[in-house]
Amino acid sequence: MNGFLQGVVDALALGSLYAIFALGIALIFSVLKMINFAHSELVTIGAFVLILLADVPLIIRILILVVVVVGAAVLMERVAFRPVRGAGQTTMLITSFAVSYLLQNAAILIFGPDLRSGSVWSVLNESFMLGPVRILNLNALTIVLTLVLLVALTLFLRKTSIGLQMRAAAEDFTTARLVGVKANRIIAVAFGISGLLAAIASFLLTAQTGVVTNTIGVQVVLMAFVATILGGMGSLSGAVIGAFVLGAVSVILQQLLPLELRPFRDAFLFAAVFVVLVVRPGGLIVTRASRARV
Amino acid sequence: MRVLGFVRRSASTPIILALLVALVTIVANSAGDASLRRIVVGAVVNMIAVIGIYLFIGLTGVFSFGQLAFMAIGAYATAIFTVPVATKRALFSAMPEWLADINLPFIPGILAGALVAAVVAFLLSFPMARMQPLSAGLATLAILVAVYTVAGNWTAVTNGSKGMSAIPTNTTMPVALIAVILVIIAVWIFQQSGLGLRIRATREDAVAARAIGIKVGRERGIAFVASAFVMGLAGGLYAQLQGTLSPDAFFLNQTFLLIAMLVVGGLNSLTGAVIGTILITAFRRVLQVIEAGVDIGPLEIPGRPGLTEVGIGIALLVVLALRSSGLTRGTEVSWDSLVRFGKRLTRRGTPSAAPTAAADPESVAGLAAAERTTPETATAEAVIEPERTPGA
């Protein structure tokens, strides 16, 4: 029973981490219909900030982290994505892939290929007991932060004017523009929020690993992609559900798979996602905007 | 005369491309030392892979990050089929008996490897066909990660992260050159056939294509399997070129490089795949030389790791921003287009004709449209065009 509860907590923590990544990707997708590969590099930039400034007090470091990553996200949109916005989905997809590759290698060019280590906040690596279950502070923080973010994002999208405009743009951008939604502003705000999500994600990820390499964001972002397809492209709640399902299945596979099959966990995971997509090609939650005509 | 007419109308593209590839390969091959020659053969193998990617992405318009998974499958399968039995017993002791006992000569080994890749793609094509294009594109990324994970951990068959070694090296320059020319011809015939035309129709407008009775999912599936076969072929040649294999050779970095080649040349044409590979390979070579550190007279530029990749990334972004359909803009080179191009050059040379050339509506976009209109595509466009306007 305790093992089961422990597993539930692990699954929730992993799912929460995936969810923060997946939300950043799903948000951009819902507005721009672009899968942002470079989201992982936003996380990498954040990780570099945290590790390189390890001597700066935590609060100031977090402030710098948020400013730099949100700035990078908005800049990325302005420089790379705006010029190709009208050029079709494939072009935008390749552009984001190219930006991701460019930044990954720019990190090598600037910081060298070696990995750097540093402590983010040592308190997070301690743990406490909740009844019979031992919970890592970091995991608790991840779960709580995700809940807070979900509530905040929901309120933002439902209660503010710009949130409403963003939902309208996600539903049908052309019509939204006809009734006065400013495209550049909405897209910039979406990138800003996804930058904030990436900053938080990089904080949690770096606190966990304690090291930074130029590809630190890639592995988790791949998982987040799968979570967004699983949940249904373009649906924010779908992305969150997909992330938690993926986290749960990861933990279950890790527990149940025989030892010699464990290295193949990701392969099984992706195979499982494939099966889900055969049964429900549009993902778990199908949005109106993403429904295909063929 | 009728034969010549046929060549001019329908067969000039593959002939021009084959001559171009042969010329570039032979010149580069005779100009350099042994290490450059090896790079040239590698580039020819890359070209086959780029054409393989084109065969799916270019013809269907569905994006895929996963085609290199099939290159990996082809490479590993070829390696397993062609390493001598005794060597396999000695080096890969964990390999199952029946697998270790297989031994094929070079060409059957490569074809069998490509066939394995195609069979895997065939099985995957059914779920793929049900997905929407964008989901399918990401699902192929899942395939890539899954194959990478398996190749890195399935010690019994792939020797895990240590990789395969002692693969016979039969991929020489003539072999690679003949292979790429055969692939160019085969892909050309495929894309000009009725089947190829139907596949391209689904790219132009999936709704309209379905309205005239084309089974969109099925046609995409066929392109997927054909692409996987060519990727497997490239993988087999790669294995037989390198002599060693590791999973990292078929992951995201290599995927990016090959996609950059295709996109710079132009996603939607065979000519684009060929030209893009040549240009990016040359550009990459220059960057690699600079990255290693060069002295230009008194100026000393120190080596900087990462420079090559950054340079290629920037090049791709610039092409995407300025000319997102690539250098060829989706058109194929042909005898007629070369003649027109030559005429344009000479016209520009005489001063009196210069203003007319500038005012000529046929200048860039017009020429691009004209070049695309081989008789077959003209039919496809005519069918799709009226449907597209209300749909947009």
Q: What is the DSSP letter of B11?
A: I
Contact A282 B132 (CB under 8 A): yes
Distance CA B14, CA B185 (A): 6
Burial of A285 (0-12, 13-18, 19+ CB in 10 A): buried
Chain B: residue nearest A292 by CA? B132
Q: For residue A92, what pLDDT is reported?
A: 85
The one-letter amino acid at A140: A
Residue of B nearest to A229 (CA): B135
Please give the pLDDT value at position B391.
34
- Residue A222: list chain B partners with CB under 8 A: 141, 145
Top residue of A34, A76, A97, A228 to mutate, by most chain B CBs within 10 Å, is A97
The proportion of chain B whose per-residue pLDDT surpasses 70, expressed as a percent, equals 84
Residue A37 DSSP label:
T
Provide the β-strand partners of residue A134: A129
Query: Which is nearest to B238 in space by CA: B313, B163, B138, B143?
Result: B163
Of A2-11, A194-203, B188-197, least confident by mean pLDDT is A2-11
Give the gap in angstroms from C-alpha A183 to the nearest C-alpha of chain B: 19
Cβ contacts of B126 on chain A, cutoff 8 Å: 278
B149-152, Cβ contacts within 8 angstroms, sequence gap of 24 or more: B149/A263, B149/A264, B149/A266, B149/A267, B150/A264, B150/A267, B151/B72, B151/B76, B151/B247, B151/B250, B152/A263, B152/B247
Mean pLDDT of B52-63: 89
The pLDDT value given to residue A233: 76
DSSP letters, B299-352, are: EEEPP-TTHHHHHHHHHHHHHHHH-TTTTTTTPPP-HHHHHHHHHHHHHHHSGG
- The span from the CA of B113 to the CA of B109, in Å, is 6
Long-range contacts of A155-159 (CB under 8 A, 24+ apart): A156/A193, A157/A236
Q: What is the pLDDT of residues B86-108, one digit of tens each?
A: 777 777 777 777 777 777 787 88
Gap between the Cα atoms of B53 and B26, Å rounded: 25
Q: What are phi and psi of A266, to 5 degrees?
A: -65, -35
Q: What pairs with residue A117 in β-bridges?
A: A211
For B336-339, the CB contacts below 8 A with 24+ separation are B336/B8, B336/B12, B336/B371, B337/B367, B337/B370, B337/B371, B338/B16
Tell the residue number behind the tokens 């790379």, with chain if given. Answer: A80
| Minimum CA–CA partner of A87 in chain B | B324
Is the residue at A133 inside a domain?
Answer: yes
pLDDT at res. B50: 94
* pLDDT, tens only, B127-181: 777 777 777 777 788 888 888 888 887 877 777 777 787 778 887 888 888 899 8
pLDDT in tens, B28-39: 777 777 777 888
Q: Chain A contact for B84, CB < 8 A? A: no
B259 and chain A in contact, CB less than 8 A: yes
Q: How far is A121 from chain B (nearest CA, A)?
A: 31
Taking the C-alpha atoms of residue B102 and residue B109, their distance in angstroms, rounded to an integer, is: 10
pLDDT tens, position by position, B228-271: 999 999 999 998 888 888 888 888 888 888 988 998 888 888 88
Query: Which pLDDT tens digit goes with each residue over A35-90?
Result: 888 898 999 888 888 888 878 888 888 888 889 989 999 999 888 888 888 777 78
Structural domain tally of chain A?
1
Euclidean distance between the first and the last CA atom of chain A, given in angstroms as a whole number: 48
The whole-chain average pLDDT of chain B stands at 78
pLDDT at B356: 40
What does the pLDDT read at residue B48? 93
Three-state secondary-structure class, residue A136: strand
Interface test with B, best of A82, A94, A274 (most B CBs within 10 A): A94
Beta-ladder partners of A135: A128
- The phi, psi pair for B331, rounded to 5°, reads -100, 155
The more confident residue out of B279 and B366 is B279
Q: Which of B328, B270, B234, B281 is nearest to B57 (CA)?
A: B270
Instruction: For residue A41, give its domain range.
Output: 2-218
Residue B390 has pLDDT above 50, yes or no: no
In a domain, A177, yes or no: yes
Say which residue, A202 or A90, is predicted with more confidence: A202
β partners of residue B294: B301
Q: Are A235 and A287 in contact (CB under 8 A)?
A: yes
Q: What is the pLDDT of residue B350?
A: 55
Q: Which residues contact B373 (CB under 8 A, 6 or more apart)?
A: B381
Q: What pLDDT, on the 0 to 100 scale, is given for residue B296?
A: 67
User: Is A272 within a domain?
Assistant: no
Residue A242: inside a domain: no
pLDDT at B372 over 60: no
Whether A88 and B324 lie within 8 Å, measured CB to CB: yes
- Interface check B197 vs A, CB under 8 A: no
Phi/psi at B300 (5° precision): -110, 120
CB B234 within 8 A of CB B74: yes
Instruction: Determine the Cα–Cα distance for residues B356 and B235; give it in Å rounded to an integer.
Output: 50
Instruction: Identify whether A276 is part of a domain.
Output: no
Distances (CA, A) of A53 to A67, A114, A214: 14, 17, 16
Q: Give yes or no for B14 touching A (CB within 8 A).
A: no
Burial group, residue B368, by CB count within 10 angstroms (0-12, 13-18, 19+):
middle
3-state secondary structure of A250: helix
- Maximal C-alpha separation, chain B: 78
Structure tokens at A27: 């948000």
At B68 the pLDDT is 92
The most distant pair of C-alpha atoms in chain A lies apart, rounded to whole Å, by 59
pLDDT greater than 70 at residue B352 = no
What distance in Å separates the CA atoms of residue B263 and residue B316, rounded to the nearest whole number?
8
Distance from CA of B174 to the nearest CA of A (A): 34
The answer to whether residues B13 and B188 touch, using CB atoms and an 8 Å cutoff, is yes
Question: Between chains, do B320 and A94 touch, taking CB under 8 Å as contact?
Answer: yes
**Partners of residue A275 in chain B, C-beta under 8 Å:** 127
Q: What b/e sequence results for B133-164 when a residue is b if at least 16 CB atoms lie within 10 Å of its CB, and e otherwise?
A: bbbbbbbbbbbbbbbbbbbbbbeebbbbeebb
Contacts of A94 in chain B (CB under 8 A): 63, 259, 263, 316, 320
Lowest model confidence (mean pLDDT) among A76-80, A174-178, A277-281, B255-259: A277-281
CA distance A266 to B150: 9
Residue A257 domain flag = no
Rounded to whole angstroms, how far apart are CA atoms A108 and A215?
10
B135 contacts: CB under 8 Å, gap ≥ 6: A229, A233, A277, A281, A282, A283
Res B365: pLDDT: 41
Q: Kindly report the backbone phi and psi dihedral angles of residue B164, in degrees, each rounded to the nearest multiple of 5, phi listed first.
A: -95, 150
Task: For B125, name the nearest residue in chain A, comparing CA atoms only.
Answer: A278
- Among the residue ranges A9-13, A227-231, A284-288, B285-289, the one predicted with the least confidence is A284-288
| A109/B207 CB distance under 8 A | no
Question: Exposed, middle or buried: residue B337 (CB in 10 Å: 0-12, 13-18, 19+)?
Answer: buried
Compute the average pLDDT of residues B335-343: 78
pLDDT above 70 covers a percentage of chain A that reads 96
* Residue with more model confidence, B299 or A254: A254
Kindly state the helix (H) or strand (E) to which residue B274 belongs, with its residue range. Answer: helix B270-291
Residue B256 is nearest to which of A83, A97, A275, comparing CB atoms?
A97
A and B: number of Cβ contacts within 8 A? 139
Cβ–Cβ under 8 Å, residues B212 and B135? no
Which candidate, B236, B68, B96, places its Cα nearest to that of B168? B236
The shortest CB-CB distance from A277 to any of B127, B263, B304 is to B127
**Model pLDDT, residue B232:** 93
**A234 inside domain:** no
Task: Record the tokens describing residue B280, joined without a space.
Answer: 């990016």
Rounded Cα distance, A45 and B234, in Å: 36
A117-124 mean pLDDT:
73
